[in-house]
Amino acid sequence: MKSKLPNLPTSIFAVMSKMAADHKALNLSQGFPNFKSDPLLIELVNQAMKDGYNQYAPMPGDIGLREAISQKTTSLHHKTYRPDTEITVTAGATQAIFTIIAAIINKGDEVIIFTPAYDCYDPAIKLFGGKIIPVQLRAPNYKVDWNDVEAKITPKTKLIIINTPHNPSGVIFSEEDMLQLQSIAEKHNLLVLSDEVYEHIIFDGNTHFSAARFPALVSRCFITASFGKTFHNTGWKMGYCLAPEYLMKEFKKVHQFNVFSVNSPMQRALGDYLATPDHYLGLSAFYQQKRDLFIHLIKDSKFKIIPSKGTYFQMLDFSEISQESDITFTERLTKEQKIATIPTSVFNANNEDFKQIRVCFAKTEETLVSAANILNAI
């Protein structure tokens, strides 16, 4: 059989997590918290199960949850998405992203992505015959050159994918970035996929400029989000997609035959949980405390650090420690120093190596102290 993805490597997250387990290393590689979800949310799921919410949910999701998502988006971004026609609950943001690409990308369509890019974009685009057009963001600041973006647009360009806050760099798109994106998308009649899974993890008083804030973007944009990232339960695989009705109709055509619907009791619980805005409004302060602690603990190390502006990831520049490739360096750290991190060249166009590794600081204080002790000794 001829493979549709013949050269697809195993995800770097799976590779490094397995290496961490094999070598009994502290795992700061894969992006998941090692602390528990809110007991109230767990109890709400249990109660929903006891109350009988154990059969199929409606295809676009539990109506209570969709209404709560709509209310949250209106409150934060002053844009109301209709629960009945413009919101779909998904099995995590990755399923939403895959479904969007499946619904709109045809053979030969070009898709602009910003590298370093989360690794689910590339294979989905290729699977449906699309062509990836990378725009490389450069260390250490990873700012977008919008002139470069516009220069890469051709008559075949159909979609631009953005990710803000950005994984792995931790940068956020400014208001000016979003206005530039809006202008380019309008001028060239492009669709936009805005991956906003870290929407509630923003530091230093900065603002998350969701695509939902920009009317001309809203009319041509899919937005994806993640409850797993927001509420410390990545294993639940719960997310959602926002889009204008004409785009959501196409999304649902794929969604209904992909997963049809997702976990009923969790949807019921999340709908109730979102009714208290403090459950998500306090996350920036919660994670900034962890970021600040981690940076303070390694301030005297040999790593060069620009504090992350969002997400729960921090980039560490090791150029003053080693001139090894980041892949070789992370492998050696895992095997010899017993700490697993992520090499970032695997997310770049042509695997360009900026001598930076990504660590996840969504960990307990004890874990961060242990990690810092190792990093300071390198």
- What integer pLDDT is reported at residue 361 of this predicted model? 97
- What integer pLDDT is reported at residue 8 of this predicted model? 79
In the chain, the DSSP E strands lie at: 26-27, 87-90, 110-115, 131-136, 157-163, 191-195, 221-226, 239-242, 313-317, 339-340, 342-343, 356-360
Count Cβ atoms below 10 Å from residue 152 Cβ, excluding itself: 13
- What integer pLDDT is reported at residue 32 of this predicted model? 85
- What integer pLDDT is reported at residue 204 of this predicted model? 97
Q: Which helix (H) or strand (E) holds 310?
A: none
Q: Where are the domains of the chain?
A: 12-30+282-376, 39-276
pLDDT, tens digit (0-9, with 9 covering 90-100), for 271-281: 999 999 999 99
pTM for this prediction: 0.96
- What integer pLDDT is reported at residue 51 of this predicted model? 97
For the structural domain made of 12-30+282-376, what CATH number should be given?
3.90.1150.10
In angstroms, the Cα distances linking 318 to 28, 140, 217, 324, 359 are 16, 12, 38, 9, 12
Which residue do the tokens 């301030």 mark? 299
CATH 3.40.640.10 assigned to 39-276: yes
The stretches in the chain having pLDDT less than 50 are: none
Give the β-pairing of 110-115 and 157-163: parallel
Rg (CA), the chain: 20
Rounded Cα distance between 128 and 101, Å, is 8
pLDDT, tens digit (0-9, with 9 covering 90-100), for 87-144: 999 999 999 999 999 999 999 999 999 999 999 999 999 999 999 999 999 999 999 9
Contacts of 55 (CB under 8 A, 6+ apart): 264
Count Cβ atoms below 10 Å from residue 139 Cβ, excluding itself: 18
Sign of the torsion angle spanned by Cα atoms 364, 370, 372, 375: negative
